[in-house]
Structure 1
Amino acid sequence: MQFSTTKPHTLLWVVLTLFLPLAGSAQNAPADSTLQTATLDKVVQYALAHQPAVRQAEIDEEITNKVIKGKLADWYPQVNFALNYQRFIDLQTSVIGGNEIRFGVNNTSSAQFTATQTLFNRDVLLASSTASKVRIQSQQNTLKSKIDVTVAVTKAFYDLLATSQQIKVNEESVVRLQRSLKDAQARYTSGVADKTDYKRATILLGNAQAALKTNRELLAYKEEYLKALMGYPLGHDLPIQYDTLQMENEVAIDTTQEINFTAHIDYKILYTQKELQHANVKYSYWAFLPSLNAFGAYNINYQNNQLSELYSRNFPYSYVGATLAFPIFQGGKRTAKVQEQKLASQRLDQGLTNLENNLNAEYTRALAAYKSNLANYLVQKENVALAKEVYDVIQLQYRNGVRTYLDVITAETDLRTTRINYYNALYQILASKMDVLRALGQINY
């Protein structure tokens, strides 16, 4: 049998056709779609770049810039063109001196170029005077969204770590209890102890395994919750990486700081609203002022009884002028509007006062929680070493027949509880530190 020399080339093209699109799609995949190592900093930065709420705020900011641009465009000359055609079925007839005279022609058409220029108008004046403030307000809303996402993601990260550490503690506890169960079973088999110790060890091991299973299921939920806060793609792993020692070094914070209301994002947003409201008061006063516009037009008229000859001759005319519109009386509407805007401004003043009180209360609460968690953390940190030492001693004494198995159970429970409490205290104080920083307005981007 003789093979064609073209078949290897054909096969090569088939392979390239099948696999090149796959390679291209792999190359086109975004490099930052997932994280190789998910440290806290990387998790927060990823959330700021991908979280839908942050992206929505950034899009809102872009929309605001476009709206401002559209409003400010009213200051520029507005040039328009219109083309009109009209056919009269019956021409207008007038009776003059007893004679019926028809006016006009059957076909008319006109082309009109018009231009208007706003010289003074309170709407465009408001747009130009508040453009910078509106942009600032939009930027502040984006910043608030980023701060909220940072705090929420950081707390969720710490919560996930707390559960991860509980799983590790439970796994170590299961190993110890399995060893204790073997010891109790051996002592029961040899007749040194009754079956009570063996049954207690079995009960403790079952409880520890159940707690381990519960925490593993809880960990899966908390990981998905963190992904949701980050805007992380579904179905992809999030390889959490952390350094407990580094976290311990980040616990401290200056608790003597005084709150500065103007540094808080909520205060900044409300203060910007107050400044915009002052502009609304001025806008209401401007209703008493006239509006002034300049205009001009160039018209080309075509008239002919024959449609085919309509555009053979034109009759142009043009004009320029200005319009001064002055509202004289509107039934007290403008005065009422001024008073309405003044009251709205006073309401915002009260809102600022109320916000200061709430921010102070929030800072006091956050600081109290931080100090309480700090005290608990320091105690639990000392208790871990003590509980481990007590357990090792009692376990050794039990093997030598000096202690009862009930003492081993108590020591094991204390060790497990103390270690869990330590990790919970560590992550609680780090989370409460975020609350203090947010209350102080010290989370910024």
Structure 2
Amino acid sequence: MKKIAGIILIGFTATALSFAQEVVKLSIDDAVDYAIKNSRTLKSKDIDLELKERASKNAWNVFLPSVTASGTMKRASEISPQYAAAGLNDYPDEESRWDVIGALSASWNFTPAYIAQIKISKAQYEAGKISWEQNLRETTTNIKKMYYGLILQQESLKIKKTSLENTRQRMNQAATNFKNGSIPELQYLKAQVDYENSKPEVDTAEQSLNQQIDLFEFMIGMPVGTPIELTSTIEPLYIDVTAEELLEKYSDNDLQIQALEKNKLAAKLGISASDLATWIPTLSLSYGWQPMYVNGSTMGLPANAKAFGFASDVGSDEKWYNSGSLSLTLAWNITNMLPWSSNRQKVKDYKQQLVQLDLSLETLKENQKVQVRKAVDTLNQAREQIDSMARNVTLAQKAYDMTVRSYRNGTTERLDLRDTESSLDQAKLGLVNQKFQYISALMDLENTLNTNLTK
């Protein structure tokens, strides 16, 4: 029994802790900061940028020499020609079968194409930084839109709940009036039907809101299911601008345009690197140091073994000598010069890429003009609609209040009351929606021009 009681107590404690989970209050800036620190997408982009940064910082390593060191111990299984020529049928001892060879070599190559390759790495890193910044800005814009979208849904749900509560109160009033005999049963039943028909709509809207909150938490990297409270409101900051003014001042700020310019630079550098690798020879320096310790007869050894500085007594049975060398080479890759070689085909690919990039750049600039003009038109229209709908909400609220008083006095039909209430709800939702449209268009405009227009 004690064990069962303990399990029950633990269950109640866990339940109490889950109910006591603290609500996280999020302003729109808090949500963006949280996403920047915890978004999985941004963390992946951070890794991509780190890879390009490391490649750029260490691109100079093409100038590092290639250095290798090795050591070999060799055992002869049969009599060597030197011993056979001396009239010996076998080695005098086991040690005589072994030779020791060491090797240390270093080689260094240089071609002007290396310099172009380093510049390509740096250009790719710069393009990576632009891509990262573009992804960050797009993520920030999407998070803000989702945040304001949640507020819009909350406002819609709030209006629906208020309407449902009004319907419930009218149903209770109808029940009282029916008991008092002031209205027929049919009118009371219609009030009940109105209330029951409104409940599923509210439940569906609330479920949809909860699902969007889960998606929002996933997007910013917050544990799904965390209770949150959105503290910001949909209140746009208005700007007075023209499309021509914005394009003249900020058109070059577009991150997509900057990324294409960096890609063009990388393609041009690729052409330079291929040309340099084709027409300029590669300088190769190499040095090898190979000391050898040889047991046995001196027959077969180089005549100048002692001149290398490692041979001790040339006439002895044990010798050190060096067979290393130093070389300096200039080499042309003739195959790369052929028009159909992979190197020259790569140059053609780069040139076609440049043509494509120029077309993309031209298209992007024209599309930028379209998007900026569209955004400015949307801003102007939304602002006019906001002013108009704000006045409409005031009028609708006044009409609804008057209709409610008339309904209570029995001088207005229930259908008229529902119509005025629906008009009020539509006016409120329309106002909030136009504010959302203004903010959304402004964010798209700032994202396109890569600037902040509200500061």
Q: TM-score range by the shorter chain?
A: 0.7 to 0.9
Rounded Cα–Cα distance in structure 1 between residues aligned with 2:39 and 2:255: 19
| 1:210-359 superposed matches below 5 A | 210-242=200-232, 244=233, 247-252=234-239, 254-256=241-243, 257-259=245-247, 260-286=250-276, 287-304=278-295, 314-330=320-336, 331-332=338-339, 333=341, 334-359=343-368
Summarize deviations over 1:343-366 as a string: whole Å, max 9, x none: 221221111112212222333333
Deviation at 1:253, TM superposition (A): 5.5
Rounded Cα–Cα distance in structure 1 between residues aligned with 2:79 and 2:350: 56
Partner of 1:379: 388
Rounded Cα–Cα distance in structure 1 between residues aligned with 2:358 and 2:291: 58
Rounded Cα–Cα distance in structure 2 between residues aligned with 1:388 and 1:114: 91
Rounded Cα–Cα distance in structure 2 between residues aligned with 1:372 and 1:200: 41
Closer, same or farther: CA 84–278 of 1 in aligned 2, 3 Å = same
TM norm structure 2: 0.79
Q: Is the 8 A contact 1:297 1:318 kept in 2?
A: yes
Deviation at 1:336, TM superposition (A): 4.1
Q: 1:427 is aligned with what amino acid?
A: F
Which of 407, 410, 415 in structure 1 is aligned with 2:419?
A: 410
Runs of 5+ unmatched residues, structure 1: 1-33, 307-311
Which of 157, 168, 177 in structure 2 is aligned with 1:167?
A: 157
Closer, same or farther: CA 363–239 of 1 in aligned 2, 3 Å = same
| 1:53-72 superposed matches below 5 A | 53-72=41-60
Which of 419, 423, 442 in structure 2 is aligned with 1:433?
A: 442
Deviation at 1:304, TM superposition (A): 2.6
SS for the counterpart of 1:192 is coil
Deviation at 1:218, TM superposition (A): 0.7
Rounded Cα–Cα distance in structure 1 between residues aligned with 2:160 and 2:404: 18
1:111 and 2:102 equivalent? yes
Partner of 1:120: 111
Q: Is the 8 A contact 1:72 1:127 kept in 2?
A: no
| Bigger Cα displacement from structure 2, 205-214 vs 265-274 | 205-214
Closer, same or farther: CA 347–227 of 1 in aligned 2, 3 Å = same
Rounded Cα–Cα distance in structure 2 between residues aligned with 1:299 and 1:127: 34
| Bigger Cα displacement from structure 2, 233-242 vs 168-177 | 233-242
Q: Is the 8 A contact 1:113 1:298 kept in 2?
A: yes
Deviation at 1:255, TM superposition (A): 4.3
Deviation at 1:282, TM superposition (A): 0.7
Q: 1:156 is aligned with what amino acid?
A: M
Deviation at 1:268, TM superposition (A): 1.1
TM norm structure 1: 0.81
Rounded Cα–Cα distance in structure 2 between residues aligned with 1:303 and 1:292: 35
Deviation at 1:102, TM superposition (A): 11
| 1:49-88 superposed matches below 5 A | 49-88=37-76
Q: Is the 8 A contact 1:170 1:209 kept in 2?
A: no
Summarize deviations over 1:341-393 as a string: whole Å, max 9, x none: 22221221111112212222333333333334333333322222211111110
SS for the counterpart of 1:108 is strand
SS for the counterpart of 2:228 is coil
Rounded Cα–Cα distance in structure 1 between residues aligned with 2:89 and 2:362: 79
1:185 and 2:175 equivalent? yes
Summarize deviations over 1:44-84 as a string: whole Å, max 9, x none: 11111111111111111111122334432121333321222
Rounded Cα–Cα distance in structure 1 between residues aligned with 2:190 and 2:296: 114
Summarize deviations over 1:130-161 as a string: whole Å, max 9, x none: 33322211111111110111111111111111
Rounded Cα–Cα distance in structure 1 between residues aligned with 2:185 and 2:118: 88
Rounded Cα–Cα distance in structure 2 between residues aligned with 1:276 and 1:384: 57
Q: Is the 8 A contact 1:359 1:439 kept in 2?
A: yes
SS for the counterpart of 2:355 is helix
Summarize deviations over 1:108-151 as a string: whole Å, max 9, x none: 332222222333252x2223223332221111111111011111
CA-based RMSD:
3.0
Rounded Cα–Cα distance in structure 1 between residues aligned with 2:90 and 2:60: 50
Which of 117, 133, 136 in structure 1 is aligned with 2:123?
A: 133
Q: Is the 8 A contact 2:59 2:121 kept in 1?
A: no
| Bigger Cα displacement from structure 2, 282-291 vs 258-267 | 258-267
| Bigger Cα displacement from structure 2, 196-205 vs 218-227 | 196-205
Instruction: Calculate percent identity across the aligned residue pairs.
Output: 18
Q: Is the 8 A contact 1:291 1:324 kept in 2?
A: yes
Rounded Cα–Cα distance in structure 1 between residues aligned with 2:133 and 2:285: 42
The count of residues paired between Structure 1 and Structure 2 equals 400
Rounded Cα–Cα distance in structure 1 between residues aligned with 2:59 and 2:79: 45
Runs of 5+ unmatched residues, structure 2: 1-21, 298-317
Q: Which runs of 4+ in 1 moved over 6 A?
A: 99-103
Rounded Cα–Cα distance in structure 2 between residues aligned with 1:364 and 1:347: 26
SS for the counterpart of 1:80 is strand
SS for the counterpart of 1:82 is strand
Summarize deviations over 1:258-295 as a string: whole Å, max 9, x none: 33432111111111101101101111211211111222
Partner of 2:30: 42
Rounded Cα–Cα distance in structure 2 between residues aligned with 1:426 and 1:146: 25
Closer, same or farther: CA 344–151 of 1 in aligned 2, 3 Å = same
Rounded Cα–Cα distance in structure 1 between residues aligned with 2:59 and 2:53: 10
| Bigger Cα displacement from structure 2, 247-256 vs 145-154 | 247-256
Deviation at 1:422, TM superposition (A): 2.1
Rounded Cα–Cα distance in structure 2 between residues aligned with 1:343 and 1:250: 45
Closer, same or farther: CA 431–329 of 1 in aligned 2, 3 Å = closer
Rounded Cα–Cα distance in structure 2 between residues aligned with 1:201 and 1:368: 45
